[in-house]
A and B are shown apart, each in its own frame.
Chain A
Amino acid sequence: RKEVEQDPGPFNVPEGATVAFNCTYSNSASQSFFWYRQDCRKEPKLLMSVYSSGNEDGRFTAQLNRASQYISLLIRDSKLSDSATYLCVVRGGSQGNLIFGKGTKLSVKP
């Protein structure tokens, strides 16, 4: 099993839609989880941390399911500007570094 696995997409959704991404991780001892956003040919930028109790930031909601070892990102009322690749990030690896998923591509259409 890969350390961090995401559906590469693309997810093509209309404006205003609700879309959800899941990400699975292999290390049950992982403690830190993040979602990053990466625009085409740009650097990854932190979108939000994922807390055990789940957390919300405006239209974005992140959830953690430790039993099933996955995290999720829900985007409500999608905007054109949400089009990007979303990277799932888990603290893992032999040295406890952050492990980045390969990303899920989202395309929001008018």
Chain B
Amino acid sequence: DVKVTQSSRYLVKRTGEKVFLECVQDMDHENMFWYRQDPGLGLRLIYFSYDVKMKEKGDIPEGYSVSREKKERFSLILESASTNQTSMYLCASSYGTFNQPQHFGDGTRLSIL
């Protein structure tokens, strides 16, 4: 079974803080993704990566950056957290081409106060 692990289930931070969300997968998947999910808006892609040190912007990259130094780990960084970044953050991974289904971590519910 694919295991995608996110570092925290719940996180509370303050406006202006730099926030790191970590994601690790154990299936040697090439592709990794960060989404946020908000009521009524569904899943929205923030960033994705198809290889180590490679990254691509998704639909809503503003205010975020990512890091992929190792194949199994994909980090999402909120450079200066704002209240509108309060959300559920979901990490996913997949192998091979983007035709393949994605496997999700448990999610991190982030609150910015």
Contacts and interface: CB of A to CB of B under 8 A. Distances in A.
A49 B101 contact: yes
B41 A96 contact: no
Contacts of A103: 42
Interface residues of B, number: 22
Nearest to A34: B101
Contacts of B100: 32
Interface residues of A, number: 21
Interface stretch (B69-77, B78-86, B104-112): B104-112
A38 to B, nearest CB: 9
A43 B98 contact: no
Given A43-B106, A44-B90, A95 B56 contact: yes
Interface of A: 31-32, 34, 42-46, 49, 87, 89, 91, 93, 95-98, 100-103
Interface of B: 33, 35, 40-43, 45, 48, 56, 58-59, 90, 98-107
